[in-house]
Amino acid sequence: MTTSMLRAGGAMLLGCALLLSPVTGAAQQAKVTLRTGILKVLPERLQPISRMDEAPEDLGFAGAERGRDDNATTGRFLGHAYETVEAKAKAEDAVAALDAMLAEGVRAFVVMADAETLLALADHAAEAAPEALIVNAQARDTRLRSADCRANVLHVAPSRAMLADGLAQYLMWKKWDAWMLVHGDAPGDVLMGEAYAAAGKKFGATIAETRVFEDTEGMRRSDSGHVLVQRQIPVFMQRSPEHDIVVVADENELFGAYLPYRTWEARPVAGDAGLRVRSWHPSHESFGATQLQRRFEKQAGRYMDDLDYQAWLSERVLGEAVTRTGSSDPAALKEYILSDAFEIAGFKGQALTFRPWNHQLRHGVLLADGRTVVTVSPQEEYLHQRTRLDTLGLDEPESDCDLN
């Protein structure tokens, strides 16, 4: 090879390096950075019925971390960077935790909290930092999407109405239209029971009877617990009217797991036990979900739960908006997220979009039996002029919220 050829080759390599260096520099020095505050309000909960249901310490946080890293994968090519600031707090300390993040310049938040705390945070943020945007990753109260909606809140968590409608559609498809409704006496159980009753009415089911299970904690995690359960549950369910299925509302998981195989009549159980209503499930593999499951499991060392999925999806909603707008300004992100142009993949068979009238993300509902996903609602037979996803939860005429 001649000296001139070597020089020419060196010049070509240098030219390539010069061409590549600006791109590399742009990736290393982000032009846009989104800092998200991940705030989890610690619930006051009893021990779960089963030791297999102990909540991991990083529940929710692990999902948000996976979402941040997925955002960063795309962001590296666009000069976008993603950072998260995490905090845990009791309900009474939640506003102070929010203020601490606001003081650090954070203006986008993923919040895992109950309805009352979420409203307190949203109202405080509206006064302290009107530009701040809150993504609800946990609270399922339907009223947050109706009379108690807030303009600065986006709802990624499905509402109780969405979950109940998803179950109702499948039960009606199975022609199991006579329901025995059992709910606990805790406030959330009562609200979920009302959601199931409303879903039954909406889709044509009959509530044969409603019974309230009063928790005395006498059957929980003890050496003789299963003996008490075996004696008490059949008596509780005795003399019930004819029904096809038992629908149970037990959000705190205090008694529902005791119903399958212990009812007086031989009937299936669905809702918060038996055929569980979920936003996510570790066995879900359809629509490319296995990719997300494996990424999460490799990172967290465990299976992905509902709250992990909702936190992951909250981060991805924000990240997708940054990608499309090239901005980290909360106002610009919110405007795009609520526009007709926005959509995001949620591994549920349809692109997910937001309802602009109440800021609820449309997405499907999984029904799982513990080891497998039985079906994903909405069921194909239920149609809507806009999208089948709007057959789940409050449609525009049903909501008292109008944030358009």
pLDDT in tens, 318-364: 999 999 999 999 999 999 999 999 999 999 999 999 999 999 999 99
Q: For residues 381 and 333, give the distance between their C-alpha atoms in angstroms, rounded to a whole number.
A: 35
Q: How many CB atoms lie within 10 A of CB 389?
A: 23
* Res 43: pLDDT: 83
**Both tokens of residue 90?**
């009791």
Kindly report the average pLDDT of the chain as a whole number.
90
Contact assessment for residue 347 and residue 289, using Cβ atoms and an 8 Å cutoff: yes
Averaged pLDDT, 201-226: 77
Is the pLDDT assigned to residue 230 strictly greater than 60? yes
* Res 55: pLDDT: 83
Percent of the chain with pLDDT over 70: 88
* Res 1: pLDDT: 44
Is the pLDDT assigned to residue 98 strictly greater than 70? yes
